[in-house]
A and B are shown apart, each in its own frame.
Chain A
Amino acid sequence: MIEVKTQMPYVLQGGNYMKNEMCMEFDAISTNESLARVAVASFIAPLNPTLEEISDVKTAVSEAVTNAIIHGYENTYGYGCHGISKPAYVEVNEGKVTLRCKIERGILCVEVEDKGAGIENVGKAMEPLFTTKPQLERSGMGFAFMEAFMDDLEVESVVGVGTKVMMKKKLRCGTWLEHEGEE
């Protein structure tokens, strides 16, 4: 769990690693899928990530946020289908998605949380090609992509309570070791 707290004076630990945290909350509608991935891409931009790293992170964030919207809150497209801003369906389920990000020692941690339907069997849900919404042309590759494009993926979910997806990725400049680079 990333706790977003007020930033304490930060002493550089040997390396030139930047520390930064952010948290945003938005409605569970499909227009916010691009908002979320662009926000995370801008968040890591100061670390000079490679183009590939940016693409990987954007895809993983897009998958997690899309899942929260369409599976967590069952909002099929929300607003803006066909590029118009009126609701595609009159009914849009209320719900918020929370996105928390943290960078430390060049490691990006991303959390995507919803208070929606929850997942009955997380192990099964994470299998490639498994989907509960084939009628919406979901491919069942969401978790597989998060796994492929990030270094670490954990999912916590309770039926009727919600789902939290936690992902980590070491950026080019990063290190997993707490004390590496210190004297």
Chain B
Amino acid sequence: MEDFKVIDNYLMVKMPEEIDHHKAAYISEYADKYILKDTVENVVFDFEDTRFMDSSGIGIIVGRYRKISCFGGKVFAIHADRQIKRILHISGLHKILEIME
């Protein structure tokens, strides 16, 4: 899948245009395949194309964080627009997620 790329020990996940419960399952499922099989330590969520997200997106991030944080891995967010940043902040996710400009 072109939406998932491994660069060094980072898994880059290109998030879809709309992230809701309907889309969430496949993102988590695919991300976990890469996390298990490759030498992935950290996960980068790229929100460049994302125009909509609800709390299902929070579930995806927290779920992946749980899988990698016990091995010292980190989660990052890039290209998050204002609305997505707001959602990340309201849910307190900025405490575990590094939001890059």
In the complex, B39 has a CB within 8 A of chain A: no
Q: How far is the CA of A52 from the CA of B85 in the complex (A)?
A: 12
What is the size, in residues, of chain B's interface with A at 8 Å between Cβ atoms?
Answer: 23
**Per a CB cutoff under 8 Å, which of B18, B28, B59, B83 touches A139?**
B59
User: CB within 8 Å of B: which of A21-72?
Assistant: 30-31, 33-34, 37, 52, 55, 58-59, 62-63, 66, 69-70
Binding site for B on A (CB under 8 A): 30-31, 33-34, 37, 52, 55, 58-59, 62-63, 66, 69-70, 77-78, 80-83, 88, 128, 136-142, 144-145, 148
Residues of B within 8 A of A83 (CB): 26
> Which 10 A-B residue pairs are closest in the complex by CB-CB distance?
A137-B59, A30-B22, A139-B58, A141-B55, A62-B54, A137-B63, A139-B59, A55-B83, A66-B21, A82-B26
CB–CB A139/B26 < 8 A: no
In the complex, B62 has a CB within 8 A of chain A: yes
Secondary structure dominating the interface of A: helix
Residues of B within 8 A of A69 (CB): 21
CB–CB B54/A59 < 8 A: yes
Min CB distance A140 to B, Å, is 8
CB–CB B20/A66 < 8 A: yes
Q: How far is the CA of A149 from the CA of B20 in the complex (A)?
A: 16
Residues of A within 8 A of B87 (CB): 59, 145
CB–CB B28/A137 < 8 A: yes
